[in-house]
Chains A and B, each alone.
Chain A
Amino acid sequence: MPIPKGPGVQRSVSPLQPSSHRLVNVIIDGNAVSVPEGTLVVEAAKALGTSVPVYCYHPKMDPVGLCRICLVEIEKMPKLQIACSTRVSEGMVVHTMSERVAEARRGVLEFLLLNHPLDCPICDKGGECDLQDFTMSYGPGASRLNEPKLHKPKAVDLGPTIVLDEERCILCRRCTRFDAEIAQERNLVVVERGHRSLIGTENGGAYTSYFSGNTTEICPVGALTSKPYRFRSRPWDLGHTDSICNQCPVGCNFRIDTRFGRIMRTFTRENTSVDDGWICDRGRYTFNYLYQPSRLRQPLVRRGGEFVAASFDEAIAASAGPLAAAAQTGRVGVIGGGRLSDEEAFSLQRFARQVLHTNNIDHRAGAQRLASPARYQARLEDLDDASLILIFGALTPEQAPILDLRLRRAVARRHAKLLFVGPYRPWFAVPCNYIEYTPGAIGDLMNQLSDVVHHGREEKGDGFVSEIANELVGAEKIIAIHNGRDADAAGALDRLMDTLHQYDHPVGILVVGSQANSRGAEAAGCIPNLSPAYIPVDDPGMTTHQMLTAAAEGKLDALFIAGANPALTYPDGLLVRRALDSVPFLAVAEQLMTETAAVADVVFAASSFAEKSGHLTNLEGRRQAFKAAVEPPVGVFSDLQIFSALASALGREGVIAADADAAFAQLRAAEDLIRRARGGQTSLPRPQTDDVSDLHSGDAVDATHHTLAIIPVPRLYGGGGAAAYDPGVAPMRPEPFAVIHPDDAVRLGLDSGDRVQLSGRGGSIEVEAKIADQAPPGVALVLADMPQAPVNRLLDASGFGSATAQKLRAEERLRGELGSSSVAVGDGYAAAGAGV
């Protein structure tokens, strides 16, 4: 209910989407307010705390004026006006609670309720439904309809996550406008006309947007409801905990809704600077894995080649000896941190440096090498007014969907230009310019661009280089996005940005990593040459690559891996397999029986993001707190507790705090000390990287044979980790595939949908062929990090590789399936979804 205000209270409000900075004075229900010219009446009323009921209006979308519930009386206008589409003007006097308005609202609600079914007790929206609430507040008490109601399809399967009830729909079109304006996909539409209108998809198929879950939230009635949450609870049952999504580095804010100590659903929690009020479906639905049988619920210790369930103390005791012995000789390594919270990443490096006395600590378990730009860190909001967005490597729709929403808005509605430089043609929802460039050569391109920009507009280099340079020089604000894989290219980009910055171009860089908290882990010091807050250490330790190489050569006695799954994500699959097999002692802290955990000697069951408190740092360096929503199962401990207990067992009691608050205080103390010492220095020291350019084999492909260069591509629902085990994400999970150019398909005799065996240096995988020209000739784009077809078997440490492709005929496929399943039992690598 609107809060009554005393007359004559003068208020000034912050600009709400101002079309100009001139303020106008409006009187709403006797209260004066000054708002920028062009503000909508409904927003002006909101500034006074007066809520005008709305259905079709949504602050993030253009007003359409469909539902008419927001009718208000404006003096000197003969008829009632809709508050959602009328803009304020000087001296406007608005009445939102007069008798005329009440009468009109009653009428509108009576029409909306004409065919609306009376199934509120069954409806999932019941309790948080705008139609229910406004009917109680403003609606007629009883229906005057004697005729039967119109019947439409109920429980329509709209897509993998959405159920549609056509009867409940009041045709406000919030969902279709969301799909058109926010997601820029234009698949959800209103079909038919008049009272036959239905919500459907443009292509007649399933509604498979990555953002589909948001439509269930913005639907003002119970027409769109989410399948995983269907009938699981009612809104008033739920306890709410503010949390941060840990599925990608954007760090969207969301709310975890729990009942009986169990997560029921997640809900957006608007942070305009980060997520703008939306979350993607991967973030929304990836929590059900916590309740799967495959979840690790107690520590496991390998005895006689078999995993045996152990108590926490037994697991600590089993790890303490080998780790202490390895620490004595310095032949020990620690990998992890990218999936942990800031506190845990800090404690993990503290564990490595102060307990194990080694600098062999690295969070980089994949091909990503950098998590932050050295300088020109951009904010996500910078994308909103960017005029040129330059992406190389990162596939934002798949890696950071909510960042991609901003990008879509900037390109589609704010006339930003999008330029993708990379080894394949990307798929974006908005138009983009694409420059094909081999992965290793992007650094050279950046250097060339830098030269051209620096030396004015003289023609130099390739034709398109000067063309891009002209674009760069002509742009008002440039945001570059990359995936942190190529350290040379990132350095070259920094220099390019330096050059542009000299010419007064606002520039910024965003690094979209593959791990959710790689930025936080990097800043917390999970880097062999950097201690917390980017302070270089005197004797840098080994990187992940060096550690794995040392382990494979038998030069490492113990390896501790926490919150990382290098067996699946590290590019060089052959090396990581050899390393994990030959290291004498491997301890892993994990939530699920991952490929890495499956070959460990000790596995600690670690708690998930919903079961612990802490902080996450997103890709722009913003540190956000999350709280524990539920209790972990008995036998499951947080990573912090595991590190702390290990430190105590190794005789360094109290070095690692077992409590998140204490660990955070330690982290803050370390950072403050350094911030003061560093002073005005702006450029961050760079993490140590491996020189793997000589390993790069992508250009040495013989196209005449059945050999293809392999480039792994990310997919939102693909990959290992929690999403691979989650039943909520299962309907969307893709099958492993390889995109192959039509010319190669002809050469190899392939059709779309054929099974292909790709054999490379570390083994072979079997995938489905998709024929599309997104892949350049001679290249196969293979879905990355799929547990059932790990592409890293084909790759080397550079993150690229080559493989021979062979079409599998039906009988070979059958044999292959039988063969692979028998292998899977033995080596544990392929036993992905099996769990314990």
Chain B
Amino acid sequence: MNPFKVMLGLMLGMRTTLKYLFTKKSTIDYPNKPFPHAERFRGVHELRKYEDGLERCIGCELCAVACPANAITVIGAENDPAHPTSPGERYGYRYEIDMLRCIFCGWCEEACPTDAIVLTPRFDLADFTRERLVYGKDKLLVKDPFTQHLANTESAAETEPGRPLPPQAQAAP
């Protein structure tokens, strides 16, 4: 074996290393720094509200029909006229998305007649049980209609006691 040839190969490799040593780093300090994503990245859903606090979802199930992965389950119910949950006669009594099944295609967003279901850029879905990854209205519904999906980001923070809180790795586009 020719030692020069070995050295040459090593040096060629080190040249590449050297080149990248002076370029901008591609790794990020995740989860301490936000992960940059494409502007129209489709992540976890949220259910929006109108500005008067009423839910946009009317329980029509069109998202569930559009869903190619059968990830969405909606059960409608009749609004109490005195204390309506949504405008109109019907509201989404239960709204569940199985995040394990969801392929984040965004068709539910397309189908929604009231722009209630919207995909946010949030992507940090990992969890320890399958059950916790079936998101109900408690996790999907925005807390405050004015901040919209920004408010929703804290939903992933619900963790079991004793486990360290995952840092917020999220930024608005």
Q: State the A residues within 8 Å of B (CB).
A: 119, 121-122, 126, 154-155, 230-234, 236-237
Inter-subunit contact A122/B88 (CB<8 Å): yes
Inter-subunit contact B60/A234 (CB<8 Å): yes
**Given A155-B89, A234-B60, A121-B77 contact (CB < 8 Å):** no
A599 to B60, CA, bound (A): 48
Instruction: State which size class the interface on B falls in.
Output: 10 to 19
Residues of A within 8 A of B65 (CB): 236
A231 to B91, CA, bound (A): 9
Inter-subunit contact A122/B58 (CB<8 Å): yes
A230 to B90, CA, bound (A): 9
**Given A155-B89, A231-B59, A121-B78 contact (CB < 8 Å):** no
- Within 8 Å by CB of B88, from A119, A232, A236, lies A119
- Within 8 Å by CB of A234, from B61, B89, B114, lies B61
**Given A121-B60, A236-B65, A230-B88 contact (CB < 8 Å):** no
How far is the CB of B109 from the nearest CB of chain A, in Å? 15
| Interface class of chain A by DSSP | loop
Q: State the B residues within 8 Å of A (CB).
A: 58-62, 65, 75-78, 88-90, 113-114
Inter-subunit contact B61/A122 (CB<8 Å): no
Inter-subunit contact B61/A237 (CB<8 Å): yes
A231 to B88, CA, bound (A): 12
Given contacts A122-B60, A231-B89, 7 further A-B contacts (CB under 8 A): A122-B88, A122-B90, A231-B77, A233-B76, A234-B60, A234-B76, A236-B61
A232 to B75, CA, bound (A): 7
Minimum-distance CB pairs A-B, first 8: A121-B60, A231-B76, A122-B90, A121-B113, A231-B90, A234-B61, A231-B78, A122-B88
- Within 8 Å by CB of A232, from B58, B60, B76, B113, lies B76
How far is the CB of B123 from the nearest CB of chain A, in Å? 29
Residues of B within 8 A of A232 (CB): 76
Residues of A within 8 A of B90 (CB): 122, 231
Residues of B within 8 A of A122 (CB): 58, 60, 88-90
A121 to B90, CA, bound (A): 9
Inter-subunit contact A121/B89 (CB<8 Å): no
Residues of B within 8 A of A154 (CB): 89
- Within 8 Å by CB of A230, from B61, B75, B78, lies B78
Residues of B within 8 A of A126 (CB): 60
A148 to B60, CA, bound (A): 24
How far is the CB of B82 from the nearest CB of chain A, in Å? 13
A232 to B62, CA, bound (A): 15
A530 to B77, CA, bound (A): 52
Residues of B within 8 A of A236 (CB): 61, 65
Q: In this complex, what residue of A is CB-closest to B93?
A: A231
Residues of B within 8 A of A231 (CB): 59, 76-78, 89-90
Residues of A within 8 A of B76 (CB): 231-234
A723 to B63, CA, bound (A): 37
A119 to B114, CA, bound (A): 11
Residues of A within 8 A of B89 (CB): 122, 154-155, 231
A233 to B75, CA, bound (A): 7
Residues of A within 8 A of B62 (CB): 121
Residues of A within 8 A of B75 (CB): 233
24 CB contacts below 8 A, A to B, read: A121-B58, A121-B60, A121-B113, A121-B114, A122-B58, A122-B60, A122-B88, A122-B89, A122-B90, A155-B89, A230-B78, A231-B59, A231-B76, A231-B77, A231-B78, A231-B90, A232-B76, A233-B75, A234-B60, A234-B61, A234-B76, A236-B61, A236-B65, A237-B61
How far is the CB of A263 from the nearest CB of chain B, in Å? 15
Residues of A within 8 A of B59 (CB): 231
A232 to B59, CA, bound (A): 10
Q: In this complex, what residue of A is CB-closest to B112?
A: A121
How far is the CB of A225 from the nearest CB of chain B, in Å? 10
Q: In this complex, what residue of B is CB-closest to A155?
A: B89
How far is the CB of A728 from the nearest CB of chain B, in Å? 15
How far is the CB of B79 from the nearest CB of chain A, in Å? 9
A119 to B62, CA, bound (A): 13
Q: In this complex, what residue of A is CB-closest to B88?
A: A122
Residues of A within 8 A of B88 (CB): 119, 122
A134 to B77, CA, bound (A): 27
A230 to B114, CA, bound (A): 21
A121 to B77, CA, bound (A): 13
How far is the CB of B58 from the nearest CB of chain A, in Å? 6
A155 to B90, CA, bound (A): 11
Q: In this complex, what residue of B is CB-closest to A118?
A: B113
A471 to B118, CA, bound (A): 75
How far is the CB of B111 from the nearest CB of chain A, in Å? 10
How far is the CB of A229 from the nearest CB of chain B, in Å? 11
How far is the CB of B48 from the nearest CB of chain A, in Å? 16
How far is the CB of A505 from the nearest CB of chain B, in Å? 56
How far is the CB of A159 from the nearest CB of chain B, in Å? 17
How far is the CB of B112 from the nearest CB of chain A, in Å? 9
Q: In this complex, what residue of A is CB-closest to B91?
A: A231
Residues of B within 8 A of A121 (CB): 58, 60, 62, 113-114
A240 to B61, CA, bound (A): 19
Residues of B within 8 A of A119 (CB): 88
How far is the CB of B141 from the nearest CB of chain A, in Å? 18
A155 to B65, CA, bound (A): 26
Residues of A within 8 A of B60 (CB): 121-122, 126, 234
How far is the CB of A135 from the nearest CB of chain B, in Å? 16
Q: In this complex, what residue of B is CB-closest to A154?
A: B89
A236 to B90, CA, bound (A): 17
Q: In this complex, what residue of A is CB-closest to B78?
A: A231
Q: In this complex, what residue of B is CB-closest to A119?
A: B88
A177 to B24, CA, bound (A): 79
Residues of A within 8 A of B113 (CB): 121
Q: In this complex, what residue of B is CB-closest to A227?
A: B78
How far is the CB of B87 from the nearest CB of chain A, in Å? 10
How far is the CB of A777 from the nearest CB of chain B, in Å? 50
A236 to B59, CA, bound (A): 14
Q: In this complex, what residue of A is CB-closest to B65?
A: A236
Q: In this complex, what residue of A is CB-closest to B73?
A: A260
How far is the CB of A169 from the nearest CB of chain B, in Å? 16
How far is the CB of A731 from the nearest CB of chain B, in Å? 16
Q: In this complex, what residue of A is CB-closest to B60?
A: A121
Residues of B within 8 A of A234 (CB): 60-61, 76
Residues of A within 8 A of B77 (CB): 231
Q: In this complex, what residue of A is CB-closest to B77?
A: A231
Q: In this complex, what residue of B is CB-closest to A165?
A: B89
A126 to B77, CA, bound (A): 15
How far is the CB of A224 from the nearest CB of chain B, in Å? 15
A171 to B98, CA, bound (A): 43
Q: In this complex, what residue of A is CB-closest to B111?
A: A121
A231 to B58, CA, bound (A): 10
Q: In this complex, what residue of A is CB-closest to B87?
A: A122
A239 to B76, CA, bound (A): 17
How far is the CB of B92 from the nearest CB of chain A, in Å? 10
Q: In this complex, what residue of A is CB-closest to B113?
A: A121
How far is the CB of B116 from the nearest CB of chain A, in Å? 10
A236 to B113, CA, bound (A): 18
A122 to B65, CA, bound (A): 15
How far is the CB of B75 from the nearest CB of chain A, in Å? 8
A233 to B61, CA, bound (A): 9
How far is the CB of B88 from the nearest CB of chain A, in Å? 5
A234 to B76, CA, bound (A): 9
A474 to B89, CA, bound (A): 59
How far is the CB of A143 from the nearest CB of chain B, in Å? 16
A234 to B111, CA, bound (A): 16
How far is the CB of A375 from the nearest CB of chain B, in Å? 54
Residues of A within 8 A of B114 (CB): 121
A154 to B61, CA, bound (A): 22
Residues of B within 8 A of A233 (CB): 75-76
Q: In this complex, what residue of A is CB-closest to B79?
A: A231
Which of A121, A126, A236 lies at the interface centre, i.e. has the most chain B CB atoms within 10 A of its CB? A121
A119 to B113, CA, bound (A): 10
How far is the CB of B63 from the nearest CB of chain A, in Å? 10
Which of B58, B61, B65 lies at the interface centre, i.e. has the most chain A CB atoms within 10 A of its CB? B61
A122 to B59, CA, bound (A): 7
